[in-house]
């Protein structure tokens, strides 16, 4: 078990948080004009890389707020945590 720093509440145990998938996915501007394949691509296809990943997380058993995290998936090391709407502190 490791600790995650919630940008609103501070450091808490990992068990209080739920992963919400890849961060910074831009919604299509005209979704009704997409083909079924294009809509499926937007809804379901996400990066699943080994290395630096930008993710959304929710403090489900705490303040219940969403935030973003930069995490190295190869070793679970958290590189940065930042609020929704903020630019990633790491590229």
Q: Rg of the chain's alpha carbons, rounded to an integer?
A: 15
Please return the burial class of 86, using the count of CB atoms within 10 Å of its CB with bins 0-12, 13-18 and 19+. Answer: exposed
**pLDDT, tens digit, for every residue of 52-77?**
999 999 999 999 999 999 999 999 99
How far apart are the C-alpha atoms of 41 and 68, rounded to whole Å?
A: 22
**What structural domains and CATH numbers belong to the chain?**
3-83 (3.30.2270.10)
- Which band of pLDDT confidence, cut at 50, 70 and 90, is reported for residue 90? confident
Confidence grade of residue 84 (pLDDT, cut at 50, 70, 90): very high
């Amino acid at each position: 078990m490791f600790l995650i720093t919630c940008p609103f509440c501070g450091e808490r145990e990992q068990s209080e948080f739920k992963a919400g998938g890849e961060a910074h996915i831009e919604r299509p501007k005209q979704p009704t004009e997409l083909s079924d394949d294009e809509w499926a691509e937007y809804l379901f296809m996400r990066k699943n890389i080994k290395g630096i990943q930008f993710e959304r997380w929710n403090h489900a058993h705490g303040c219940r707020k969403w935030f973003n995290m930069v995490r190295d998936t190869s070793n679970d090391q958290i590189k940065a945590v930042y609020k929704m709407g903020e630019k990633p502190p790491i590229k």
